[in-house]
Amino acid sequence: MPKFSFSAHPYLLGFDALEQMLESSAKTNSDGYPPYNIEQLCKDRFRIVLAVAGFSIADLSVIVEGPQLTISGEQTLNGAEFLHQGIAARQFTRVFVLADGIETAGCSLANGLLTVDLHRIAASQVTQRIKII
C-alpha cells in the first residue's frame, strides 16, 4: 500500500513542511526516554512535564523554532569512577509540534521535573478580499 503524501492531494497545498515535521518528530521520539506528561490546565493553557532526574539547568536546552518545541539534555560526567552505575547518564531529544497560536509561557526545573508552560494566543480571523486583475 503506498504511503499517503500531503503534496499528492490537490486540496492540501503547502503542507509539505508539516509532513516533514511529522516524519522527523516520529523518528526522533521513538525512544521512551525521558518519560513525560502533557496536561491541559484550562481551555487555553497546557503544560509539558518531563522527568529529568540528575540533569541540571546547564544540562538542558529548550528551544522553540517555528512550530517545533525541542527539549534536549546532555549530562556531563564528572570523571567519577563507579563501582556500580545504575543511574543512566544519557542524552535525549524530545520534539513537540505546536499548533498555530500556541506559545511558551515559561519553563522551570524543580525536584527532577522540567516543566514547560504553554498558552494559546487569540487568533484574529481576518477576511481578505483578493483583487482580480
- How far apart CA 49 and CA 105 sit, in angstroms, is 14
Indicate if the pLDDT at residue 126 is higher than 70.
no
- The helix/strand/coil state of 58 is helix
Spell out the domain ranges in the chain.
1-30, 31-120
Residue 79 confidence (pLDDT): 76
Measure CA 122 to chain center.
21
State the amino acid at position 20 in one-letter form: Q
- Residue 110, Cβ neighbours under 10 Å: how many? 7
Instruction: State the Cα angle at 29 between 51 and 19, rounded to 5°.
Output: 140
Kind plus residue range of the DSSP H or E element containing 114: strand 113-120
Q: What is the pLDDT of residues 29-66, one digit of tens each?
A: 556 889 999 999 999 999 999 999 889 999 999 999 98
Q: In CATH, which of 2.40.10.10, 2.60.40.790, 3.10.20.30, 3.40.50.720 is domain 31-120?
A: 2.60.40.790
Q: What is the mean pLDDT of residues 9-36?
A: 69
